[in-house]
Amino acid sequence: MMDLNELFREESEVLTRAQDVAAQTSLSAEDYRDALLNVNRHYQRLMRETYRMISRSDRAERELNRVNEQLQQLAQELEYKASHDPLTAVWNRGAIIQRITNTLSNGPAALIILDIDHFKKINDEFGHPMGDKVICGLVSRIQAHCPEDASIGRIGGEEFTVLLPHYRLSDAVIVAGAVHASLNASPLAVLPGQLVTASLGVSYGKPGSDFETLYNNADVALYDAKNHGRNRVFFR
């Protein structure tokens, strides 16, 4: 008689460990990626067992299908957590860098770097929970003024990038200007008593150029914007 518990023991243990990882909100993207790779390895084994044993028992078939569905759902969750910022749900640093690199290998792209002005003062005056709300509110404002094909990423802290595939520099400056104008037009809903502004740097990369060059040029433009008083858009 087939012992189902023993048959699926390894998969059940992997599933339990991966569920524990997926339930965490403060782990690194690398931790989620490692858990995802482990789930994928056992998913392949499960598929082999499915083809070998599917005809032997209806009960085994049902159990295989159940574990298979759980592994697939968990793999999707881990993949998402490995590539997205847990606070804002935009691409995390590693994922946005990879998207920029892939985009440049296939064509031109423009990049916007946005940094919230005087964000430390917001944290000091209103507390870090409010600071997190401001970051999320600002991301919503960025999303409202970016085209559908834009990829928004959180590089770290209060710094964000907007990848614009196949955009000319002049068109990317228009997008950056729209975000900048919106922030100056009205406060964020989470902090209605004052404006939250940002400095923005914009750059352009030709097909075949690399992430470092595109990012560094936008970063220099951002530095110029800050040196000229913040709350403005510069490009190079």
Q: Residue written as tokens 């509110």?
A: 137
The pLDDT of residue 87 is: 97
Please name which of 43, 109, 110 lies closest in space to residue 72, comparing C-alpha atoms. 43
**pLDDT (tens place) for every residue of the chain, 236 residues total:** 445 555 566 767 766 777 777 777 777 888 877 777 777 676 667 667 666 665 566 676 777 788 888 888 988 999 999 999 999 999 999 999 999 999 999 999 999 999 999 999 999 999 999 999 999 999 999 999 999 999 999 999 999 999 999 999 999 999 999 999 999 999 999 999 999 999 999 999 999 999 999 999 999 999 999 999 999 999 99
Using alpha carbons, list the distances in angstroms from residue 166 to 82, 93, 169, 228.
26, 21, 10, 29
Q: Which of 10, 49, 158, 159 is catalytic?
A: 158
158 tagged catalytic: yes
Instruction: Give the chain's length.
Output: 236
Residues 6+ positions from 197 with CB-CB distance below 8 Å: 116, 117, 180, 183, 184, 230, 231
pTM, two decimals, is 0.79
Q: With left for phi above 0 and alpha for psi between -120 and 50, is residue 226 left, alpha or beta?
A: alpha
